[in-house]
Structure 1
Amino acid sequence: MNNQNHCISIFTGHLKPSQALFLKLENAFLVSNTYEIIEIISLNPNIETELRGWAKIKGHLYLGREVLKQQYSYKIQKITKNSFSSSASWNKKMKGIETSNPKLKDLNLSEEILDKAPIDNGLLTRGIVTQEGSPHYNFELSHKELIWSDPVSILYEEGKNLQWNATTDIAWNEIPNLDPILEKAICQIMTYLVENEFSALYIPGKFISKINPYYMEVPLFLSSLMNDEARHIEVFTKRANANGGGFQYSSEVTQRSLYSLFKEEDYIKSSFLLHVMGEGTFVDLLSFLEKYMPDEATKKLIKLAKRDEMRHVAYGMEHVRSAIEQNPYRINSLKNTAFKRKEFMDELNTESTMLLESLAILAGGSDEPDDYKRGFDLVEELKKTMNKNRIKRLIDIGMDEDLANDISKAHTPNFM
């Protein structure tokens, strides 16, 4: 296309032929289109030779000089191909600035969010124009349906607003000295919680670098999720050591269960196992712990962690539900994933007995036979509650009730 009548004018004043002048020219030509004419308005009458030479080196066509009133117009036509496929946006002030409350959801980075990220999208997001020749990253997760969750921007904002500090927001000095049996049970529970939180920290970390940043909201949310999990690890570690007890034992069944989560390489399947099945069940466990912890400080740290986990479950639920809506055949894939994990766990065919005994002691208040039996029965009721709520979540993401029952029963005895 010949755009002989279209000129872009840049004023260079007294700039002499130098790096400073040629930098301005370089950028002006970068953002112009092929065959456009760039007019250099200068106060210098004798830079024609240098401009002609620069144009020749760059592959452009020098058109000549025109004398204006106390100024000089030098024109060069761009001949080389376009450096950018489109022009950058301008005059798109985002909502919320006037009220000093701009939210992620208020950003209008593009007219639409494409189902597949542009192939030339590098380490940048929507609205940034890529220069021709930039490397292709070939992000593994470049399709919207593989990662997207509609409330992700809202959940990200919620995560920021509900941040808490594992050092200053817990009244650590108010944790009482407990009976050693009860304290040891709590330390065993905290040990288990830390193990599981490491799983919830590391698994999203595996996938962030695979997600195309065109879908910026998702890696931002996952980063906030990882920050939550790091805080949970910190707070549960501190509680385990608060009264001098310290970490206790890690069971083979717990580590085997977490390994079966960690080795999953498909993001939708991982989201299903971790957020929908695992963290969803974890929320029920945290509700149980919050109810039966003997002191307010420990109740509070459990409550705050549970609030974070509920946000993670909300992302996973919408993510997997959306993926199923776009491809109902994924239900069969998720079913196979759940039963494959069950086969792996069945090789051991046991529960985390130290955890279960500790939960029974906590709920009963001691290891005295009657208290312990009462606590044991409460743990059995907890398992039923976990199963019922798992079934509900599975139905909510699009599975029929019979399949939801089967998959829930196949869930790991480790809870996570």
Structure 2
Amino acid sequence: MDLAGLGVDRGGHLLLRRALAPLPLGERLQVFGHDPALRVHLPAWCRSEGHRVESPEPDSESGLVAVVVRGEGHDGRWAGAGRAGSGRRGEVEKAPPARWGLAVRGARLEEGGPEPYFDLDDRDLVWAKVAPQLYAHAAARQWDPDTAVAWDEPFSTPPDVEAAVVQVMTYLVENEQVALVVPARFLGRVHPHFREVVQLLAVQVADEARHMEVFTRRALLRGDELGSSSVGGRASLFTLVEETDFTTSSFLLSVLGEGSFVNLLDFLVTHAPDPVTRRIAWLAMQDERRHVLFGVSHLAEQSAADPKLRGRLRASIERRSDALRDTVGLNADVFDALLLLSAGSWHPEEIEAGYARVQRLRHAMDEGRRRRLERLGFPADEAAALSALHTRNFM
């Protein structure tokens, strides 16, 4: 190996490692070169790599610096260290140890290093087989509020209808704030081995941030004031923020709350009085469906592995219902706004039809919750009873 004027400290180590790699243990490699520091740096590098150096008498004519005897080499530092998982594509361990720390799943592990603690370190607790596909779907379908919505599209709404839109948008922003906070709190607790789940939660947080932006922009598109925020609504949402258990939090937020939220967004797509409201409701609905799918999928897998889980989920619904027993439920201003939007006018017959549509919305929410509960293994009658206990604030 002739390094010419290249020093070990300036990239020569790569050429040496490449030349030594195919040699059997004990084989010798003659190293030539005329870098002034080579006779000092080469032995030091060889010791760090596990090779041995034989130093012949200096030969200025040939330029021979040393003879390196092949040792374990670069891989010696990794002997017996293993990998952070099997290294096979897509294979996820059930309980990754703390010593894997922040290593990428499947990477070779050098011995030592910190052992950070991640309390969500059990595959059955956080994983869903569909997680990698859902993340790929989410990443491919991120949308830009500035280009995905035609904010300057001309339309006209009567003042009272516009006020109804503002009120509903205010309610949506309030709910989406909580839908952002809840998954964000768990991001740093999930073991990095389950990276697709971490990525999916991160995208979910980004989704909710984007929803907050577009709902706020629509609320202020024709004016400069937002609608009302009820005590009952904030109390209902606070019970979601208070929940510190990943499983029950995912259940209450994604399976029950966001599932009902999808019905509400679909309702707005149908009854929106203007194209901007319809567009942002449709875009947000696509994201929310993905959030619900992940929540239902991973809880269904967890429920199949742990028959006792349904008891914990049942208790979380009952506990939340008890906590909200003295609240009035859905903000009356929101209910009235939904009624007016679905009615389309102040004519008594249209108001009556709008009221019936809002009741059908509530029925659709109930039916959706029942189906998702049954998918988690609850009998139909129990699913119906638990759905009835869900907060009257929708989320």
TM-score over 0.5 for the pair: yes
Q: Which residue matches 2:338?
A: 359
> Is residue 238 from structure 1 mapped to residue 238 from structure 2 by the alignment?
no
Go from structure 1 to structure 2 and tell me whether the alpha carbon gap of 1:14 and 1:283 turns closer, same or farther (over 3 Å shift).
Answer: same
Letter of the aligned partner of 2:121 in structure 1? Answer: S
Matches of 1:337 and 1:327 in 2, distance apart? 16
Give the Å deviation of 1:336: 0.6
Matches of 2:74 and 2:219 in 1, distance apart? 66
Q: Which residue matches 1:42?
A: 31
Q: Which residue matches 2:69?
A: 75
Q: Which residue matches 1:164?
A: 143
Give the Å deviation of 1:114: 0.9
Letter of the aligned partner of 1:339 in structure 2? Answer: E
Give the stretch that moved more between structures: 267-276 or 124-133.
124-133
Matches of 2:94 and 2:13 in 1, distance apart? 38
Give the Å deviation of 1:53: 6.4
TM-score normalised by length of structure 1 = 0.81
Q: CA RMSD in A?
A: 3.4
- Whether the aligned pair in 1 keeps the contact of 2:267 and 2:361 (CA below 8 Å) is yes
Question: What percentage of aligned pairs have identical amino acids?
Answer: 30
More helix by share: 2
Matches of 1:120 and 1:21 in 2, distance apart? 32
Matches of 1:325 and 1:65 in 2, distance apart? 66
Letter of the aligned partner of 2:31 in structure 1? Answer: S
> Is residue 399 from structure 1 mapped to residue 389 from structure 2 by the alignment?
no
Give the Å deviation of 1:298: 1.8
- Counterpart of 2:355 (choices 376, 386, 389) is 376
Give the Å deviation of 1:124: 3.1
Instruction: Classify the secondary structure of the residue corresponding to 2:292.
Output: helix
Give the Å deviation of 1:394: 0.6
- Whether the aligned pair in 2 keeps the contact of 1:176 and 1:295 (CA below 8 Å) is yes
Q: Which residue matches 2:3?
A: 13
User: Once the two structures are superposed, what CA deviation does each residue of 1:248-275 show, in whole Å capped at 9, x if it has no partner?
Assistant: 1111111111111112111111111111
Give the Å deviation of 1:319: 0.9
Give the stretch that moved more between structures: 296-305 or 279-288.
296-305
Matches of 1:37 and 1:197 in 2, distance apart? 65
Matches of 2:73 and 2:236 in 1, distance apart? 62
Instruction: Classify the secondary structure of the residue corresponding to 1:386.
Output: helix
Matches of 1:231 and 1:50 in 2, distance apart? 55
- Whether the aligned pair in 1 keeps the contact of 2:2 and 2:32 (CA below 8 Å) is yes
- Counterpart of 2:101 (choices 106, 122, 129) is 122
Matches of 1:26 and 1:204 in 2, distance apart? 49
Matches of 2:136 and 2:7 in 1, distance apart? 50
The correspondence of residues 330-345 of structure 1 with structure 2, limited to 5 A, is: 330-345=309-324
Matches of 2:177 and 2:219 in 1, distance apart? 15
The correspondence of residues 7-406 of structure 1 with structure 2, limited to 5 A, is: 11=1, 13-14=3-4, 19-20=9-10, 41-44=30-33, 62=52, 64-65=54-55, 72-75=66-69, 77=71, 83-84=77-78, 85-86=80-81, 110=89, 112-244=91-223, 246-406=225-385
Matches of 1:26 and 1:344 in 2, distance apart? 69
Instruction: Classify the secondary structure of the residue corresponding to 1:125.
Output: coil
For these two proteins, the number of residue pairs brought into alignment is 382
- Whether the aligned pair in 1 keeps the contact of 2:17 and 2:74 (CA below 8 Å) is no
User: Once the two structures are superposed, what CA deviation does each residue of 1:270-314 show, in whole Å capped at 9, x if it has no partner?
Assistant: 111111101100011111111111223321221111111111111
**Where in structure 1 are there 5+ consecutive unaligned residues?**
1-10, 90-107
Go from structure 1 to structure 2 and tell me whether the alpha carbon gap of 1:66 and 1:114 turns closer, same or farther (over 3 Å shift).
Answer: farther
Instruction: Classify the secondary structure of the residue corresponding to 2:68.
Output: strand
Matches of 1:405 and 1:171 in 2, distance apart? 41
- Whether the aligned pair in 1 keeps the contact of 2:53 and 2:67 (CA below 8 Å) is no
Q: Which residue matches 1:5?
A: none
Give the Å deviation of 1:70: 7.6
> Is residue 409 from structure 1 mapped to residue 379 from structure 2 by the alignment?
no
- Whether the aligned pair in 2 keeps the contact of 1:276 and 1:317 (CA below 8 Å) is yes
Go from structure 1 to structure 2 and tell me whether the alpha carbon gap of 1:137 and 1:321 turns closer, same or farther (over 3 Å shift).
Answer: same
Letter of the aligned partner of 2:32 in structure 1? Answer: L
Instruction: Classify the secondary structure of the residue corresponding to 2:54.
Output: strand
- Whether the aligned pair in 1 keeps the contact of 2:330 and 2:394 (CA below 8 Å) is no
Instruction: Classify the secondary structure of the residue corresponding to 1:83.
Output: helix
Give the stretch that moved more between structures: 364-373 or 125-134.
364-373
Give the stretch that moved more between structures: 350-359 or 277-286.
350-359
Matches of 1:308 and 1:334 in 2, distance apart? 24
- Whether the aligned pair in 2 keeps the contact of 1:261 and 1:270 (CA below 8 Å) is yes
Letter of the aligned partner of 1:13 in structure 2? Answer: L
Go from structure 1 to structure 2 and tell me whether the alpha carbon gap of 1:309 and 1:263 turns closer, same or farther (over 3 Å shift).
Answer: same
- Whether the aligned pair in 2 keeps the contact of 1:63 and 1:77 (CA below 8 Å) is no
- Whether the aligned pair in 2 keeps the contact of 1:187 and 1:245 (CA below 8 Å) is no
- Whether the aligned pair in 1 keeps the contact of 2:3 and 2:12 (CA below 8 Å) is no
**Where in structure 2 are there 5+ consecutive unaligned residues?**
none
Go from structure 1 to structure 2 and tell me whether the alpha carbon gap of 1:88 and 1:242 turns closer, same or farther (over 3 Å shift).
Answer: same
Instruction: Classify the secondary structure of the residue corresponding to 1:73.
Output: strand
TM-score normalised by length of structure 2 = 0.85
Give the Å deviation of 1:173: 2.5
Give the stretch that moved more between structures: 225-234 or 74-83.
74-83
Give the Å deviation of 1:316: 0.8
Instruction: Classify the secondary structure of the residue corresponding to 1:316.
Output: helix
Go from structure 1 to structure 2 and tell me whether the alpha carbon gap of 1:150 and 1:49 turns closer, same or farther (over 3 Å shift).
Answer: closer
Matches of 2:5 and 2:355 in 1, distance apart? 84
Go from structure 1 to structure 2 and tell me whether the alpha carbon gap of 1:73 and 1:264 turns closer, same or farther (over 3 Å shift).
Answer: same
